[in-house]
Every structure is written in structure tokens, then in C-alpha cells.
Amino acid sequence: MNTQQTAYPKLYIGIDIHKRSWKVHCATDLFSGKSFSMSPDPNQLQAYVSKHFQEYEVTTAYEAGCCGYYAHRCFEGYGWRSLVVNPADIHRKGKEKHTKTDKIDAQLIARELKDGRLESIVVPDRKREELRSLFRRRNDLVKDFRRVKSYIKMQLLYYGIKEPEEFDNDHWSHKYRNWLDAMIFEHPTAKATLDSRMRFFRFVDQELIVYFEVIL
């Protein structure tokens, strides 16, 4: 009688992902695991798994962060199950709450993954992800715009320069900008500071115009 394997052994991989290196912890149903460092390359991890854990059902997890979803998409492309988790959802016991290293983080992720206590955040598709970056850029520009306007106003206040009543509002007309450009200080260093801020102001102003042209 021929027998067929109906269940595959399971491999759980917790990864602490950083720009320059990954700390990886591999655990299975039968042993608690092994930790090691590697370069931040999903293909190298696939090669390691193929060499040491053939015929294993692989599940990976790492914390959502600045490295995005590239690794997640690669892992799913290998046929693995991949979770991107909220760091706050990783349960820490006792001293684990106060001890944080890359190795410990990878071990905790692997442990929680193996115990079935982790759930993935919703990973957007590429189109939505890139659309988010466009709106985040808008938020950055708006913050920069408000900040540089505030710096210019503070410089005037610091040197006791009173704005004409017609300009004492939030609207920066071309007439007001020309008034700022023509301002004369006793020493050229203050003028250089204002000129630099005005150049940055105009740069951000133009970027916002271009941004709205893109989304419209």
C-alpha cells in the first residue's frame, strides 16, 4: 500500500528587519529555534530555507515599519505565508518588556507566530501604497510651507519689524512677497537669512502647485 504525506512540518521565521541587516530566528514544531544575522535580501533567506528546511510549510512575520512591504511580497512570491504585524501586538512577558535587542525581537516574533497569536495588518496593493506616498508628500509640503512662513514671521518679530496693516493676515500676496524681498537690514547677515527663507518658501509654494497638477 502506498502512503502519501498529507501534512508538512512547519517552519516559523521571525525577522527583525533593518536597512543594513536582518536578525532572523527560525523555529519548528520540534525545536525552539536558531538565530542568525543576514544581509537584507529575501533571496538569501529563501536559499537558506531551501537548503536546511526542504518540504517545510513556511510562515514568516516581521514588524511593520520603514522597510515597507517589499520583503512581504517576496516571501509570498516564494509560496510562503507572510505576516506584517503591528509592533504593539507582539506580546512580551516579564523582563521582555524591558529588554529589547534585535535578536530578542526576532525570537519573540517567531514564538508568537508559532503560538498562533499574531495577525497581519492589512497590506495595501502597490497602487494604493504608492498613492499613499503621494498624499504623505502633500502633508510634508504643507508642514514645510507653514513652518517656513512661521520662521519668516518670527524673524520680523525678533527684529521689531512691523508689517503694514494690509499685510497683517494669513494671505501672502505677491505684493507682500515683494515687500519682504525689498526689506533692508542693518547688516547683510540678517538679509541673507531672510533671502534663504524666501527661496525655500517659493520652492515649497511651487512644489504644492505641481502636486495639485499631478493629482488633478
CB 118 within 8 A of CB 90: yes
Q: What is the pLDDT of residue 4?
A: 58
pLDDT at site 15: 97
Question: Does residue 165 surpass a pLDDT of 80?
Answer: yes
pLDDT band at 32 (very low <50, low <70, confident <90, very high): confident
Spatial CA neighbour of 110 closest among 204, 216, 210, 23: 23
Domain ranges of the chain: 10-114, 126-215
Amino acid found at 108: L
Residue 99 pLDDT class (50, 70, 90 cuts): confident
Give the list of residues 6+ apart from residue 13 with CB closer than 8 angstroms, or none.
24, 25, 26, 27, 45, 49, 58, 59, 60, 61, 110, 113
Question: What are 103-145's pLDDT values in tens digits?
Answer: 999 999 999 999 999 999 999 999 999 999 989 999 999 999 9
Average model confidence (pLDDT) across the chain: 91
C-alpha–C-alpha distance, residues 199 and 208, integer Å: 14
Cα distances from 5 to residues 9, 51, 205, in angstroms, run 10, 20, 65
pLDDT 10s digits, 47-69? 999 999 999 999 999 999 989 99
Total count of residues recorded for the chain:
216
CATH 2.60.40.1250 given to domain 10-114:
no
How do residues 81-94 score in pLDDT, each as one tens digit? 999 999 988 888 77
For 18, the grid coordinates are 533593518
